[in-house]
Amino acid sequence: METLQNLGINIPLLISQCVNFGLLFALLTAFLYRPVQRMLAERQTRIAEGLEKAKVAEQRAAEAEQAYQERIEQARREGQAIVAQATETGEKSRQEILVQAKEEATLVKQRGREELGLERKRVQAELRDETVRLAADMARKVLAETLGEADQHQLVDRVIGRIGEGQL
């Protein structure tokens, strides 16, 4: 020990410093190192939980994105179906309108023909009446000049009888 004292080392001081170091180490370990380790472990756990929650949130976001894309696709398909149905309905309506227009045109032509036939008959009847009147007037004038009154009446009666029978 004397050699240690010659070297300037004080043994009781060294022992007290070793004891002080041991106590300080034990106190720091108990009050500082373990709480810091616990705090770091808790922090690491929170970070792991946060990462797990982020993964779950990312997965949910991906699922929501996929559902959104599916809804958009479904809406697009429904829109196309509606457009196709509207086109088909429009085409059917167009065909129905064309058929109806053709029917109406046929009816108008038929009515026109009927009216033309009726008008023709009316004009023919008027012409016949006018012809008969003119013929009667001419016959009256000719007969008045050539026949006597009794012969005229007899001739007029015969012509009127034929006209009534539809022979003239």
What is the sign, positive or negative, of the torsion defined by CA atoms of 13, 16, 21, 22? Answer: positive
Cβ neighbors of 163 (< 8 A, separation 6 or more) are 132
Give the tokens for residue 29: 């370990």
Predicted confidence at residue 36, as pLDDT, reads 93
Name which of 137, 134, 128 is nearest 163 in CA terms: 128
Contact assessment for residue 1 and residue 11, using Cβ atoms and an 8 Å cutoff: yes
In 91-150, the DSSP E strands lie at none
Q: How far apart are CA 147 and CA 37, in angstroms?
A: 158
Q: How far apart are CA 139 and CA 145, in angstroms?
A: 10
CA distances from 98 to 86, 101, 112, 113, 126 (A): 18, 5, 21, 22, 41
Predicted confidence at residue 147, as pLDDT, reads 63
Supply the pTM of this predicted model: 0.41
Predicted confidence at residue 101, as pLDDT, reads 92
User: Mean pLDDT of successive 10-residue segments in the chain (168 residues)?
Assistant: 76 92 94 92 96 95 95 95 94 93 93 90 84 74 69 76 68
Predicted confidence at residue 144, as pLDDT, reads 67
